[in-house]
Amino acid sequence: MVKIAPSILSADFANLEAELKALEESGADMVHLDVMDGHFVPNLTFGAPVIKKLRPHTSLPFDVHLMVTNPEAMLEAMADAGADIITVHAETAPHLDRLLDEIRELGCKAGVSLNPSTPEEVLNYVLEKIDQILIMSVNPGFGGQSFIESQLEKIQRVKELIAGRDIEIEVDGGINPSTAKSCIEAGADILVAGTSVFRGEGDYQENMDALR
Ligand code: DX5
Ligand code: ZN
* Amino acid (1-letter code) at residue 9: L
Q: Which residues contact 209 (CB under 8 A, 6 or more apart)?
A: none
Distances (CA, A) of 91 to 68, 114, 118, 130, 175: 10, 7, 8, 16, 23
- Does residue 195 surpass a pLDDT of 90? yes
* Amino acid (1-letter code) at residue 173: G
Per-domain residue ranges for the chain?
Answer: 3-211
Best mutation site among 23, 37, 114, 138 for ligand 1 pocket (most ligand atoms within 8 Å of CB): 138
Go through 111-134 and write b for each residue having 16 or more CB atoms within 10 A of its CB, e for each that does not.
Answer: bbbbbeebebeebeebeebbbbbb
Query: Full-prediction pTM beyond 0.95?
Result: yes
Architecture of domain 3-211: Alpha-Beta Barrel (3.20)
The residue contributing the CA closest to ligand 1 atom 9 is 143
pLDDT digits (tens, 9 = 90+) for 107-151: 999 999 999 999 999 999 999 999 999 999 999 999 999 999 999
Ligand 1 neighbours, Cβ below 6 Å, are 7, 9-10, 32, 34, 65, 138, 140-141, 143-145, 172-175, 192-196
pLDDT digits (tens, 9 = 90+) for 82-104: 999 999 999 999 999 999 999 99
User: Ligand 1, closest atom to CA 9?
Assistant: 9
pLDDT digits (tens, 9 = 90+) for 44-63: 999 999 999 999 999 999 99
Is 135 in contact with 158 (CB distance < 8 Å)? Answer: yes
